[in-house]
Structure 1
Amino acid sequence: MIKIACVGIAVQDRIYYVDEMPKVNGKFVATDYKEIGGGPAATAAVAIAKLGAKVDFIGRVGDDGAGKVIVSELNSYGVNTSLVKVYPNARSSQSAILVDKQGERLIINYPSPDLLYDTDWLEGVDFSGYDAILADVRWPQGTEYCFKKGQELGIPTILDADITPQDITALVALSTHAAFSEPGLFKMTALNEVESALKKGSLSTDGKVYVTLGDKGCLWLEGGEKHWDKGFKVDVVDTTGAGDVFHGAFAFALANGYSTDKVVEFACAVAALKCTKAGGRAGIPTIEQVNNFLNSYQR
């Protein structure tokens, strides 16, 4: 069985469902509320586990109530958390999320400053047994360390290249597969047109570059040529975590030896199915559900 490492941030999400996004100051009433785990790398790890692979989450939490809940939920999905660093007397990262009737969301994240950026403790991790390493950009020091290990060992490295205050160019350079969100790509390249931005982004790495386009699928460059998977049309309930799930499914497919076009198609399908249910992780499908969906969907 393949084994994947997911490196980055784990968050406790508090999701409020509203009829529409507030446009003025005031008090508003939510139609529903959920409290679940989130974070790009952590949610990607859950997707990988639900698809049937072994997965280690390598990240940081505090020893507060939120941290305990984060770790417990990851364990409940079958994610190995033995490599999680728990900081004493520290707060864990948390997010408040608004989701409207169309499934679109607004996220306010609090990346806890109590979680130190040091990577010394990663020296005890044996990376040689992984078939792929996936990392987000929310703990750049950890991502850099792990990607360098992957580079030394010849392991594929997948970067969830989302928007962040830091310059992620160095992380893109270390990745064999840089999968950008549209905002992340525009910020790094200082361009606002997808194809030109993707071409510029490709100059930062010897690996392959991709950009996710929401319900429009995914665009990528291979051998200098543009490729596009248009994605899948589904009845959207909640897009929370869709990008994270895409990256987890991408790593799963890549580690299983899929061709690039099949990697992207598979990741788009898993992300689409996730959007059909509320919550960031509740809708993540099993491998059987994905295969049934792909076999029945008329493209």
Structure 2
Amino acid sequence: MSIACLGITVLDRIQRVASLPTTGGKFVAKDYFEVGGGPAATAAVAVARLGHDVDFIGRVGCDGVADTMLTELAGYGVGVESCVKIQNASSSFSAILVDDEGERMIINYQDPSLSRDPKTLESVDFSKYNTILTDVRWIEGAKYALEQAKINNIPSVLDADLTPEPIDELVQLADHVAFSEPGLEKFTGETDPIKGLKIAQERTEGKVYVTVGSKGCYWLENGELKHQSGLKVDVVDTTGAGDVFHGAFAVAVAEKMETRQAVQFSNTVAALKCTKRGGREGIPSRNDVNVTLSKAD
């Protein structure tokens, strides 16, 4: 079983602080480390950790940052052969502050020289995948991949997080649209996630979901609101939790889990990730997830 994750890969430069700054000034970090990040790339790592073949498809520059990120992904068992390497462009990176409560602040930079042209994807055989997941950081590429999913009758998942660009076409194309709270608010203009979910459903024939952090996930099923609580854990770092949720959800879709089972599975994977620092280091194995789920039954 094989899954494609298309979108952005980022080098996360993480500094730990006692609390997130609320004003300008100088602050002292307690720790510093670097790790690969990015919604689709981290989702791909989660897919690999959960026991499935996965390819990450994204844009990088021809630089040392790209070499570091792709080597790390390959080390997790993620296929990177379909990544697009762009001459004279810088790969994406983020500055991340993580506080003692596990909350984080992320500032991301994407070089405008990274070509957005999806034509490079025409060489990718999307028909071979069981599920296609995209994030919203390469709109043109995501649209192409989701169109390929429709053509080949492959279920698709959209990680509908914040982005400065309209995502209406992507929402319309995807079979499963999983919003973050901020992403849903921007898409609908509604601050209440339940009301926002209902507005979003009017704009797509796919299923819509919204993750609400430790409160779990809400979704609509045949017009009826559903909810699955999150797993309670001792949080160390929430970095990448949403990305891991989406990777796990892509696995659940590929395995044809019933919706509530899929959400509970994804909630559990994301929660277990939060018990360790970094966006990827804490991603649990499939066995760890199964053991946790068996205790919850």
Q: Which residue of 2 aligns with 1:36?
A: 35
- Aligned amino acid, residue 62 of structure 1: G
- Deviation of 1:136 after TM superposition, in Å, equals 0.2
Show CA shifts across 1:142-200 (max 9, x none). Answer: 00000000001110110000011011111000000000000000101011111111000
Show CA shifts across 1:212-245 (max 9, x none). Answer: 0000000000100110001110000000000000
CA distance in 2, matches of 1:295, 1:89: 50
Secondary structure at the counterpart of residue 128 of structure 2: coil
- Aligned amino acid, residue 206 of structure 1: E
1:256 aligns with 2:255: yes
- TM-score, reference length from structure 1: 0.98
Q: Which residue of 1 aligns with 2:293?
A: 294
- Aligned amino acid, residue 156 of structure 2: T
Secondary structure at the counterpart of residue 103 of structure 1: coil
- The aligned runs of 1:108-257 (5 Å cut-off) are 108-257=107-256
Show CA shifts across 1:34-64 (max 9, x none). Answer: 1000000000000000111000111010011
CA distance in 2, matches of 1:24, 1:59: 35
Q: Which residue of 1 aligns with 2:81?
A: 82
Q: Which residue of 2 aligns with 1:24?
A: 23
1:46 aligns with 2:73: no
Which aligned segments of 4 or more residues in structure 1 are displaced greater than 4 angstroms?
Answer: none
- The aligned runs of 1:266-281 (5 Å cut-off) are 266-281=265-280
CA distance in 1, matches of 2:258, 2:58: 29
Aligned residues: 297
Task: Structure 1 unaligned segments of length 5 or more: list them.
Answer: none
Show CA shifts across 1:53-90 (max 9, x none). Answer: 00011101001111110110000000000000111121
Aligned-CA RMSD value: 0.8
CA distance in 2, matches of 1:112, 1:240: 22
- Aligned amino acid, residue 190 of structure 2: L
- Deviation of 1:139 after TM superposition, in Å, equals 0.2
- Deviation of 1:23 after TM superposition, in Å, equals 2.4
Q: Which residue of 1 aligns with 2:10?
A: 11
CA distance in 2, matches of 1:265, 1:71: 30
Q: Percent identity?
A: 56
Of 110-119 and 75-84, more deviation after overlay is shown by 110-119
- Deviation of 1:24 after TM superposition, in Å, equals 2.6
CA distance in 2, matches of 1:90, 1:152: 32
- TM-score, reference length from structure 2: 0.99
- Aligned amino acid, residue 145 of structure 2: C
Secondary structure at the counterpart of residue 59 of structure 2: strand
Task: Structure 2 unaligned segments of length 5 or more: list them.
Answer: none
Q: Which residue of 2 aligns with 1:98?
A: 97
- Aligned amino acid, residue 291 of structure 2: N
- Aligned amino acid, residue 19 of structure 1: A
